[in-house]
Amino acid sequence: MAIEQNVKKRDLPLIFSFLLPGLIIFAVVIVIPTVLAIQYSFYQADSFVNGATFIGMDNYVHIFEDQRFWNGLGRTIFYAGATVGLQMIVGIAIALVLNQTFKGNNILRGISVVPYIIPVVVVTIGWEWMLDVNNGIVNEIIASLGLEKIQFLSVNLAMFTSIMLST
């Protein structure tokens, strides 16, 4: 087996210790809700407080016979195909134009990354306001608890922690 050649058995506990937190989060956020949703789809209930009646495949039979489902599915597939296709065509066309050498192409390349930069700048300014030592909401909460205000953006450890939390 290829995995045995590259990984020693003594390393497996370490490997699994790194994988386990992600797998637990994946199970809690994705797997368990999906399994429960599939299970609940076989029941008829107004609320699960009063109990539910097992109806088997009746929900699926009902939805597949409903013309509104097929209309909605068709519109969804058309919308997804059209928007993804159009975005790919426009994106490739813009990339091809920006790849050409002409007067001002560097300016256009710079402008094209602005939509990616603006959210980072806005979040950074927001965190700077919230962490301000005089008027920031974080320090106001700290002061209301009777604690001394922290200069988040001037103390090395606090600044490093602030940067970590905001990214």
pLDDT digits (tens, 9 = 90+) for 33-87: 999 999 999 999 877 677 888 999 999 999 999 999 999 999 999 999 999 999 9
- This prediction's pTM: 0.54
Dist. CA 20–CA 27, nearest whole Å: 10
Q: What is the pLDDT of residue 1?
A: 47
Distance, C-alpha 120 to centroid of its chain = 16
pLDDT digits (tens, 9 = 90+) for 81-125: 999 999 999 999 999 999 999 998 899 999 998 999 999 889 889
Compute CA distances 160 → 100, 101, 138, 163, whole Å: 41, 42, 16, 5
The arithmetic mean of pLDDT across residues 152-160, rounded, is: 72
Lookup: tokens for 103: 């007067």
